[in-house]
Chain A
């Protein structure tokens, strides 16, 4: 089948009132074109600007009028040229008339495709719709818009409108906007397409659908309510993760002169006998083995096919249940949507009646789904109603897959009510938390919700495509930082924080962070408890009463991390763990970090003795474990760090304590002589001054 060709005409408002958001529009549209260049190379794109300084379009030359509408790029197959044009759009000087642009766009599409390419012709209007459109020569604006909308439908065109309002300026005219909104709504209804109002620049990326994915049914057929009643439905994926584009493995083996080299790396797998390394087994001499406990059971394909679980294709209702019986966190996968079969009024009404009744009664339906013939597993899903508020969109359902008994792991966690008083918030702290929650509100009443997933683009993909473009021009370019607009997705909104500074400050004050470390815990069962309350149950940690630990018992304590209380002891315990070689590395690394933290957090040297104590045990450990380089490098590093960060006093402190590098005599692996070792700190001192 030839690739489906999609023609898209971007109608962009570049009038003066759009100046502030044009950079975002440039970025979002570039992304769209870039993705098309990768995923649908044959798609065609054109660009029409309105509110521009100049006038350049065929209708002006043919019939006159249509001022300030510029055809920046005619409709053509996506390429670097179109992408380039979007990078820097010319800023306009006049207020744009979106209706002129729509007519010019429609004319272009008709001229180019006529009646062909039905349903694959789209107009995408991006404007703030703050400027009035001209009065028509005859009839009302409304009539004119309706005529044009009907024309669009007749020619098989769709028109999407993205209205970007942002924070309204002083000069915004409510009346004009309302009129425009009304007109645009006619387009939306007539051509049954989206009309979106955005306030936030981040949403723009998400609102402009950058990829056109062909929808494939997961299932079409009967939703069996009972043996006597089934409803014809179509099931589609509602969500599916958009992955990174698939990259190929690169080979530089081909000579540079080879013009048609693919530079691809192929992966080859060889199945070799474990006894005879040179023996490669062909496919017919191999058999699959499945683990069952310690055994591996060989099963041939035919054997397997004969006995495996083969459910019949079909989607069956098991029953309805209270929505409270289903936990939101049990949703397992991406989501499906159940739509009535198009044109089937009965199915549409049946789904609508069920959805509305379920919504009213707060019920959900449980289904058993086998999507395809020959599928070897079933899934149990929960069907939740999705009522439509648009008259041309039918009511539908969402289906989420639920876990089976095997998939749920019922771990036990200590309940908060058993905690000691110091772990529980008091009334004032609870209030501080409640205030924080109320003020950091992302869906304030009467205002549009911020960070709505439907309009939030994936910043990683955006960054990747930008990097791709930069790299195509300069192969040595570094990875660009994340786009400033998209930073709002990864970090809290600075404005929001600033506005609510007092609440946040009072929250911070309520919870003083320098708290007592939670005690290491013991198992709930077994042994006597020192106190019933301050036990936090943790299956992996078994500690006797902390108070009376003798060194011998210490070994039986499972230290997994260097804590704040007794870092030196923790380190010794950690480094002497013999159950995995990784502990040594882990211990050394954690200790280094701990020392760094201690020095950094030190106030007038109050942590120095502790840091020194840690350095001494680290030194000892590194000698024992034959890792002198680790210690030496670290000591050098921390001294450098201290010098750069005005912490000279620590180096002086160390020098006064006669701490030296590990020399060759102490550990053979060291490349430091005795002389160097001794003089290291002493020498480094004068340099500082």
Chain B
């Protein structure tokens, strides 16, 4: 049966994970309105000369591609958040209040502020070409009218964000503009009037719990001056004002990643009490900074109606066939009897520690071996519910641990798997104005001796002929390493090709497109780079130094003797092939007599033809038939 085992047979740890994510889910959702300035100035193309090759891009294009990128990530990671995309300084208008120069972009079957859909993403991607035709760009603030497009835009955004309670929803307006002085063309009293009104509008929105963020786009020749107008709008003062504008000439790429970063809201996975000594403890929150992203849960549908199915689980007694309620006991056969345990006893066994996180001591960082790892780490940061002295303890330990190159060993008494953990102090890393690594501690889950396998010893060479490389060979290897150096490698540079493919397929199917766009697999090695003469030479020298002249020979035949298992496998295939020849498979298939053969006989065919031998008899028969093309 085609049953998704993963969905049902989760072990306790998975359950704990599921609960964790529940805790995450309970914390806020996010509603975002993207306000994009569509004034003609945004369409000026500019040369970006940061990199070697010149690129022609308009600020409008940058804004659009930022948003598009964000939407694509969001639909995967946080599809419950809602978004609206709103342009201002437009020719056409479309919004709830029928305000001039404001256009809310939307697609059918979707409210203005709603969850992103495949269609929204697709049409938004194509928007740039049709923009001037359907929406049009026009500077909305002109001196002789009293129109104020920025005011209208904030008002429209605020109206969009009026749904949902401010308690549970995080509401934000993200404003993209390259005009640091929107009222520059206005003179006299009208100007100050308009500024005052606009600021009041923004303040009203903020009072309603909506935060406004500006993403300023600077031209290479004229840096965006936040203090002109927008500093007042978003309430920046003092030091922040200085910090706000990233240095001139900041890479456009950075913008994109910065935007994506801000899209995530922190979610606390667990609150922990960290006991240090003598009953001194501090409150910490744990966060999941690195977790494997799954393509989303599978829902079973009726293949005719495409309506979701309800899955009902029943427990059936294997002896009597009676339907039983949820079991309360589990058992393990031991010494010819069944030992039963109640659920309470099982959880009692796991309760071996009194505290949530107990400090045991410290070790130098060098004792943290590379193989001490089982699952992704967690990140710890002091809870804001503590006191200033608990914060003080955390910072003091944090600093001293970094200074002394030590990590803390602690015992984490979690209910799913109590285990030893290593706490590594992480110093804050800031690169071009944005935080790359936050300050805090990483909690690394350590294995027990039962979890570590002694592979190296088991496969040690008994003949005692083991040889270590000579210094010349090491030197050649070093040359090779120097040649194939990834300078600025960062883990974030690869997207998961399987996941990207998955979503590309889903998007294509959701939009009923015929072909799935080919994705570039970024994880493939750079063949071109590896074919450079310098690299090839280094490879050849290394090869000669290690293998001598007979590299090909040695690798062709592998080692002299095949392993036990491979010998056996070979023998089995040979046996199956001879057995297989004794049947007239075509005939058997045509007369429908395959089912009269035994599974063992059927498997001869599979083994001989190098097909998988798993499955029930029907599955095997259908596999044979499809292999024969029948």
Q: At the interface, yes or no: B524 with Cβ under 8 Å from chain A?
A: yes
- Nearest-neighbour CB distance to chain B for A204, whole angstroms, equals 10
Q: Which of B384, B411, B494, B554 contacts A489 (CB 8 A)?
A: B411
Given contacts A461-B450, A517-B385, 7 further A-B contacts (CB under 8 A): A192-B462, A325-B490, A350-B547, A411-B265, A423-B391, A430-B396, A437-B401
Q: Are A377 and B498 in contact (CB-based, < 8 A)? A: yes
CA–CA, A527 and B409, complex, Å: 42
Q: Are B307 and A275 in contact (CB-based, < 8 A)? A: yes
The 9 A-B residue pairs with the shortest CB-CB distance, nearest first, are: A515-B389, A206-B449, A515-B387, A353-B469, A413-B438, A425-B396, A247-B330, A526-B211, A357-B477
Which residue of the partner chain A has the closest CB to B393? Answer: A511
Q: At the interface, yes or no: B234 with Cβ under 8 Å from chain A?
A: yes
Q: Which of A193, A423, A464 contacts B395 (CB 8 A)?
A: A423
CA–CA, A205 and B449, complex, Å: 9
Q: Which residues of A contact B413 (CB under 8 A)?
A: 490
Q: Which residues of B contact A650 (CB under 8 A)?
A: none
Q: Are B539 and A226 in contact (CB-based, < 8 A)? A: yes
- Nearest-neighbour CB distance to chain B for A452, whole angstroms, equals 8
Q: Which of A37, A229, A350 contacts B334 (CB 8 A)?
A: A37
**Residues in B1-56 with C-beta less than 8 Å from chain A:** 1-4, 8, 11, 26-28
CA–CA, A243 and B217, complex, Å: 53
Q: Which residues of A contact B502 (CB under 8 A)?
A: 290, 308-309
Q: Are B211 and A523 in contact (CB-based, < 8 A)? A: yes
Q: Which residues of B contact A205 (CB under 8 A)?
A: 449
Q: Which of B419, B439, B535 contacts A226 (CB 8 A)?
A: B535
Q: At the interface, yes or no: A491 with Cβ under 8 Å from chain B?
A: yes
**Residues in B521-545 with C-beta less than 8 Å from chain A:** 521, 523-527, 530-531, 535-536, 539-540, 542-543, 545
Q: At the interface, yes or no: B349 with Cβ under 8 Å from chain A?
A: yes
**Residues in B386-426 with C-beta less than 8 Å from chain A:** 386-393, 395-401, 403-404, 406, 408-409, 411, 413, 417-420, 424, 426
Q: Are A360 and B478 in contact (CB-based, < 8 A)? A: yes
Q: Are A192 and B491 in contact (CB-based, < 8 A)? A: no
CA–CA, A230 and B447, complex, Å: 32
The secondary structure that dominates the B interface is: mixed
Q: At the interface, yes or no: B248 with Cβ under 8 Å from chain A?
A: no
Sample (29) of A-B pairs whose CB atoms are under 8 Å apart: A232-B558, A232-B559, A241-B417, A248-B330, A290-B299, A290-B502, A292-B296, A296-B308, A311-B497, A319-B484, A337-B456, A346-B546, A348-B466, A349-B468, A357-B475, A357-B477, A360-B474, A377-B498, A412-B262, A433-B393, A442-B363, A451-B420, A455-B449, A482-B352, A497-B277, A513-B390, A516-B387, A518-B391, A526-B212
A262-B319, A290-B296, A504-B278 given as contacts; is B539 within 8 A of A356 (CB)?
no
**Residues in A574-622 with C-beta less than 8 Å from chain B:** 577, 579-580
Q: Are B277 and A489 in contact (CB-based, < 8 A)? A: no
Q: Which residues of B contact A504 (CB under 8 A)?
A: 277-278
Q: Which residues of B contact A308 (CB under 8 A)?
A: 501-502, 505
Q: Which residues of A contact B8 (CB under 8 A)?
A: 267, 269
Q: At the interface, yes or no: A182 with Cβ under 8 Å from chain B?
A: no
A232-B558, A296-B308, A328-B444 given as contacts; is B466 within 8 A of A406 (CB)?
no
Q: Which of A368, A376, A396, A524 contacts B524 (CB 8 A)?
A: A368
- Nearest-neighbour CB distance to chain B for A450, whole angstroms, equals 7
A335-B371, A433-B399 given as contacts; is B448 within 8 A of A458 (CB)?
yes
Q: Which residues of A contact B353 (CB under 8 A)?
A: 490-491
Which residue of the partner chain A has the closest CB to B290? Answer: A403
Q: Are B371 and A249 in contact (CB-based, < 8 A)? A: no
List the one stretch of A12-20, A43-51, A166-174, A533-541 in contact with chain B. A533-541
Q: Are B358 and A442 in contact (CB-based, < 8 A)? A: no
CA–CA, A514 and B301, complex, Å: 58
Q: Are A265 and B324 in contact (CB-based, < 8 A)? A: yes
Q: At the interface, yes or no: A656 with Cβ under 8 Å from chain B?
A: no
Q: Which residues of B contact A337 (CB under 8 A)?
A: 371, 455-456
Q: Which residues of A contact B397 (CB under 8 A)?
A: 433, 436-437
Q: Are A507 and B485 in contact (CB-based, < 8 A)? A: no
Q: Are A268 and B211 in contact (CB-based, < 8 A)? A: no
Q: Are B459 and A342 in contact (CB-based, < 8 A)? A: yes
Q: At the interface, yes or no: B127 with Cβ under 8 Å from chain A?
A: no
Q: Which residues of A contact B138 (CB under 8 A)?
A: none
- Nearest-neighbour CB distance to chain A for B535, whole angstroms, equals 7
Q: Are A515 and B390 in contact (CB-based, < 8 A)? A: yes
Q: At the interface, yes or no: B126 with Cβ under 8 Å from chain A?
A: no
Q: Which of B266, B334, B510 contacts A292 (CB 8 A)?
A: B510
Q: Which of B115, B392, B493 contacts A293 (CB 8 A)?
A: B115
Per-residue CB proximity of A125-152 to B under 8 Å, as 1/0?
A: 0000000000000000000000000000
Q: At the interface, yes or no: B140 with Cβ under 8 Å from chain A?
A: no
Q: Which of B167, B338, B462, B530 contacts A392 (CB 8 A)?
A: B462
Q: At the interface, yes or no: A443 with Cβ under 8 Å from chain B?
A: yes
Q: Are B340 and A250 in contact (CB-based, < 8 A)? A: yes
Q: Are B300 and A402 in contact (CB-based, < 8 A)? A: no
Q: Are A353 and B476 in contact (CB-based, < 8 A)? A: yes
- Nearest-neighbour CB distance to chain B for A433, whole angstroms, equals 4
Q: Which residues of A contact B319 (CB under 8 A)?
A: 251, 253-254, 258, 261-264
Q: Are A254 and B492 in contact (CB-based, < 8 A)? A: no
Q: Are B535 and A405 in contact (CB-based, < 8 A)? A: no
Q: Are B165 and A242 in contact (CB-based, < 8 A)? A: no
Q: Which residues of A contact B266 (CB under 8 A)?
A: 411-413, 538-540
Q: Are B396 and A209 in contact (CB-based, < 8 A)? A: no
Q: Are B332 and A491 in contact (CB-based, < 8 A)? A: no
A438-B404, A496-B361, A521-B384 given as contacts; is B306 within 8 A of A285 (CB)?
no
**Residues in A500-519 with C-beta less than 8 Å from chain B:** 504-505, 507-508, 511-518
**Residues in A404-454 with C-beta less than 8 Å from chain B:** 404-413, 415-417, 419-420, 422-425, 429-430, 432-434, 436-438, 440-443, 449-454
- Nearest-neighbour CB distance to chain A for B92, whole angstroms, equals 27
Q: Which residues of A contact B503 (CB under 8 A)?
A: 292
Q: At the interface, yes or no: B293 with Cβ under 8 Å from chain A?
A: yes
Per-residue CB proximity of B248-287 to A under 8 Å, as 1/0?
A: 0000000000001110111000000000011010000001
Q: Which of A227, A281, A287, A406 contacts B77 (CB 8 A)?
A: A406
- Nearest-neighbour CB distance to chain B for A266, whole angstroms, equals 5
Which residue of the partner chain B has the closest CB to A343? Answer: B559
Q: Are B167 and A558 in contact (CB-based, < 8 A)? A: yes
CA–CA, A427 and B2, complex, Å: 64
